[in-house]
Amino acid sequence: MPLEKYIDHTNLKPTATTTDIEALCKEAIEYNFYAVCVNGCHVSSAKKVLRGTHIKIAAVVGFPLGAMSFKAKVQEAVDCIENGADEIDMVINIGWLKSKDYDAVREEIEAIKKAIGDHVLKVIIETCFLSNEEKEIACRLAVEAKADYVKTSTGFGTGGATLQDVALMKRVVGDNAKIKASGGIKTREEALKYIELGVSRIGTSSGPSLIQ
């Protein structure tokens, strides 16, 4: 599969304007990326530009802290889907995970997956804040909750994707979930290394330079 088909072309900046999102979508069309990844308020704008194309829209939920209420996250996911999102990238409740309230973490993921039905759910575990043991637990919870993907990072924490984290995640999820590497992937060489490790999607704001 060509590299462009792994890329979620991303702009999650708080300063992103409607014009910026339109430009992101036009680049996705030009480079034939798999998807764009945007904040929820930009889903309808992205939908207008991408209508009639094969390019998917991924919307982030509970972003970037993961700390809003259970009900708010579920409703946010539903709202994004109703506005035209094809996929949801949700941030887990990191505080609950660190409190060892694993049932609550799992139930939140399950509730969002149930609410969005057949739409793809990616679970951002924000590896930079977790011990290796916590990363493993987070991946297991995502699989138990029937998530489609586990994802490394928001890109807004203290660190992004690492090859070591992706190897750990792959070991835990096996073929039970796909993996999205996100945060700090700036070069084609880096992207290809992640793909070799088994990543199915790469979240990056540097998509055009990766292809060029």
Catalytic residue numbers read 89, 151, 180
Residues 6 or more apart whose CB falls under 8 angstroms from that of 193 comprise 163
Coil, helix or strand at residue 138: helix
36 beta partners:
9, 57
Q: How many CB atoms lie under 10 A from the CB of residue 135?
A: 22
Under 8 Å CB-to-CB from 30, ≥6 apart: which residues?
208
Cβ atoms 9, 37 nearer than 8 A: yes
Residue 104 CB coordination number (10 Å): 16
Q: Fill in the DSSP letter of residue 2.
A: -
Helix (H, G, I), strand (E, B) or coil at 19: helix
65: number of Cβ within 10 Å: 14
Helix axes 18-31 and 43-50, enclosed angle (nearest 10): 40
What does the alpha-carbon distance between residue 120 and residue 149 come to, in Å, rounded to a whole number?
8
Give CA–CA dist 211/188, Å, rounded: 7
